[in-house]
Structure 1
């Protein structure tokens, strides 16, 4: 039996929810959820703002023992306890083999991770390239995670990693993701980036009002809207900006 994926599946224990009409159980990502099966290499979650991508990834991180604000399993701090209790209702199905590394990169709270690390130890031993994350640009610090902190044989959860990355850096991120996949790693990524979600053979899970379903890359709204805009941007701008 292959060790990958480290996280094979999660199931949602709906019977434990007292009021499914309340947040976060009312979110499109959760409302129709029964179980999810993950790709051995890369699984993407895509969907509109507010669909529940980040809430789902946060719950995955917590149920796996990772800080909800980000970092690895040794990152222990709590800026503000705003994460939902969704994780209490998830049951993970894991591989027989444990990953050597765990990491949750959460764009919205990565500043807190950087502050925690600076308060814990000198930059030279943090593992992010020898420079404080606060001394790097937002994009440089995200790339420092991928290029320096992560070494392979890991389970990595990334929530909107493109938030700080230029298109060129997003392509660099693809290179690092591929390096880590070749080093027996598994990624679960929430993204709006058509560049990142182009990773070959990845599983793309679209979240909308109807729930969660697997789609092909060229069938994602992100791909089609970006393609159409770039191919006829003048006409689209005229339509969008006409009073």
Structure 2
């Protein structure tokens, strides 16, 4: 079974998708982490976020996703960059480079291949990001679109940054989230949008466990109907 979970920053999709995959015994793919990894490579190389300058970088870039006991890790040229990709600077640049066709072509291919291997092995996959249900797997068995009030998303993001030692005001984080929303929704290539057949889940006021339980109930219902 292929399950996609999309939504804006701070909607809770990353933690929910990871826990849902654990509950189901499925492969978990954080597609946003892959874009962040490419953004980190762009920052380190000192190139501009344009197709002309990023395309040559992509050709020599070795991006590997590895799953360990503590979750999904992203490796750049053999280096585990999982903690390094979670800064605000990398996140902002990830939004920019995600609009570039060469970046999307490379990463969508990697995502589809990882999911294909999981399905061939007799398992399932939970992908989360911003276009997994509209572009990466438009034929997914279940598509979830998670939303939450901007203030709540900013609060969650601020707490996440604080745990990583990055102090920001709530207003600063809210402004960044609103800017990221505009960039994601207005980009010409694979914009953030809800698939027509997606199950929408408003996570404002919900705990992570409640979010997982609600999606899991939808999964079980889809499986029940498919078995009839």
Fold agreement, TM-score > 0.5: no
Normalised by the length of structure 1, the TM-score is: 0.30
Answer 1 or 2: which has greater helix percent. Answer: 2
